[in-house]
Chain A
Amino acid sequence: MLNIRDKGAEIWEGWNRPTRSTFVIGLIAVVMMLPYAGNFSFTNILNTPISSYQAVLVYPVGMFVLMALGLNIVVGKSGLLDLGYVAFFAIGAYTAAIMGTHFHWNTWECLPLGMALAMLSGVLLGLPTLRLRGDYLAIVTLGFGEIVRIVAVNNPSIGGPNGIANVPNPPKTLGVSFGLDHMESFFWVVVIMILLIIWMVRRFTARRPGRAWEAIRQDEDVAALMGVSTLKYKIWSFSIGAAIGGAAGVIFASKSMYVAPDMFSFNISVLILSCVVFGGMGNIWGVILGGTLLAYIPERIRFISNARQFVFGVALVLIMNIRPDGLLPRKKREKITKAGE
């Protein structure tokens, strides 16, 4: 069977530095132009019927990829099963909504606060619960995700079940306008955030935190015997993931201009986790592919209306049967490779 990941890596290894830079810049340019793809006859096959194509690119596609990358640090890199990831998304979105409507902060001012609050809640949740393992952690995080939503429903000062409307769009920045008729700007912001996260994750992976996460994922007890402070690194992983979820939430609120508790249901947590597992846990490119497909396909096949969810579900089950480690799984080093070869 063709191994896309290894084939890709092989081609990449064969390139010199200028070729690689050209390819990366070209690829980024192509991705940045995606919002306009719907306008041309030869690319308008990408167009989503019924929902606006440009809006779909931001939510769900961009947001799912962003959150899947964040969750991948928690689940894929350090092996902590988080079933309540949507909570951090909600905290970011509500931060933007409250600060934007009551205190007239703009989106860029809300962004660091939303990330910080999500991160803080990650630390507060992590301190007691990251001593738990496996299934227990999954249950507690699932509960946390629901608690955040239920608190929002029952708290009239943040709109209760009606949520908060009139969340401001981001202001015009560097000559770029944001708004309903400027969905492409939101997409660009999301792409830039995704690029930053890819860069950050790649740096972490090659360095000490990456090694520590890898050790914790493979065997937590042995990691401690190596002198790795397991609790510290688990909290780091958890809260970095949370901050990314919070950032996605801030952008989401300023894009949709409206937040309500039912946007942050358990469904979203499961879908994001599916993106990670479906694409290939632990591999950034797999996770990006998984997030893109899982967000885009349901929108693309909206024209078959009621059968949509059924077709999507069957396709998921089939693909997970054919590729149980995901579309682009992380590299498994079982093959014998001699040193120096």
Chain B
Amino acid sequence: MWRFAGKRALAALLVLFAISVLVFLIFFATPGIDPAARIAGRNASQETLTQVRASFGFDRPIWVQYGLMMQHLFINRDLTSFVNRGSQVIPQVMQAIPVTLSLVFGAALIWVVLALIMGVAATAARGTVIDPLILVIGVIGVSLPVFWLGEVVNLVTQSRLHDTVFAWVPQLGYVPLTDGVGPWALHLLFPWLTLAVLYAGIYARVLRSEMVASMNEDYVRMARAKGIGETRVLIRHSLRTSMISIVSLFGLDFGALIGGAALLTEVVFGLQGVGKLTYDSLQNFDLPVILACVLYASFFVVLANFIVDLLYAWLDPRVRHV
């Protein structure tokens, strides 16, 4: 297991390095585009441009430029925005990270629990109307534009029904966990549900098909032969092995979530997370902020994938030897 973990950690580091190089190339080495003008923002003065060129070493070889970028980002952590003159970028990102993590983990918890319930129910009642129902929920989930769903939720809870049914829904925004669990969860409730709706169906569908397939496996027949009750067979024997596919799917979706659905959800619900920060900096082309957000977000995605790999190997020992 340790050997496996070491190998995966090394691979994760390599991937991180490759991503940083790719981002660097996109931002600083796209042919025909002056990176200094990009970083300085729209209509920057000559003076700012010179400052940017010196700070990022655009007159020096390309690997020095890469080194300088990484130094600004991760070592000195003194990357500054030129659009919002002089504001430090990294503290902004650091402040935003807990918001994004609160959103993502809360939503993930909800959709995994929902998917487990739906998946187990569908397996127990296979061949009934629940099966096609879950299929439909899954398809609708992957087809809904998340930003649109969020806006509709806002429309209903903040405007149309705010005076009656949803009077208890607080204003949009984020309240830190230190202000109490209640307000924190209440502010995040609808963003969580919006995200969970997208994924619960598809997870339930995957879980159901895995569980139904496992019903024909020897270990399930063995469990039944021992006289174990159907519920226990479902949960202790079938569900446990079927969780493996959910775990690997979660690893994939986490990345998509941080950079995609969660970003959009933050924008729609006004949560000041990494996604909202990226969005705000997109609006005024504040490149240093975008750069920092993208690299820090990728870092979390690679880290999450690493953890998922370990979890996977722990659940399914065969993986360790591949």
Q: Do A and B bind each other?
A: no
Write the residues of chain B forming the contact surface with A, with a CB cutoff of 8 angstroms: none
